[in-house]
């Protein structure tokens, strides 16, 4: 029951936002380092590269298995070229 008190839920929400935003920042850093073809597909590869090329573990102690944002995930794993193709396909479906 302690987990469901109002204070603990507020703290949990703040932590989730911090973690997600921190993951997005780290993912954008990786996209900047690997803009054309990305880092490769897969959660294990993402975690491995995140640990190797950023100081995320030092700052936060753990990583999430992916950036929890589809566009960033495509951009980091497959590169900006693939992300642009994906966005064009989505736009063509809408218009």
pLDDT by position in tens, the chain (length 95): 555 555 554 554 455 445 688 889 999 999 999 999 999 999 999 999 999 999 888 888 788 888 889 999 999 999 999 999 999 999 999 98
Residue-wise over 47-80: b if at least 16 C-beta within 10 A, else e? Answer: bebbeeebebeeeeeebbebbeeeebbbbbbbbb
Look up the pTM and report it.
Answer: 0.76
Tens-place pLDDT, residues 36-52: 999 999 999 999 999 99
Give residue 10's pLDDT.
Answer: 55
């Amino acid at each position: 029951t302690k987990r469901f008190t109002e204070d603990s839920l507020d703290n949990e929400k703040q932590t989730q936002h911090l973690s997600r935003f921190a993951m997005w920042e780290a993912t954008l850093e990786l996209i900047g380092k690997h803009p054309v073809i990305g880092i490769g597909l897969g959660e294990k590869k993402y975690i491995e590269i995140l640990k190797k090329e950023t100081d995320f573990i030092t700052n936060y102690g753990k990583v999430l298995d992916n950036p929890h944002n589809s566009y960033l995930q495509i951009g980091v794993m497959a590169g900006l070229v693939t992300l642009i193709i994906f966005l064009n396909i989505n736009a063509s479906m809408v218009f």
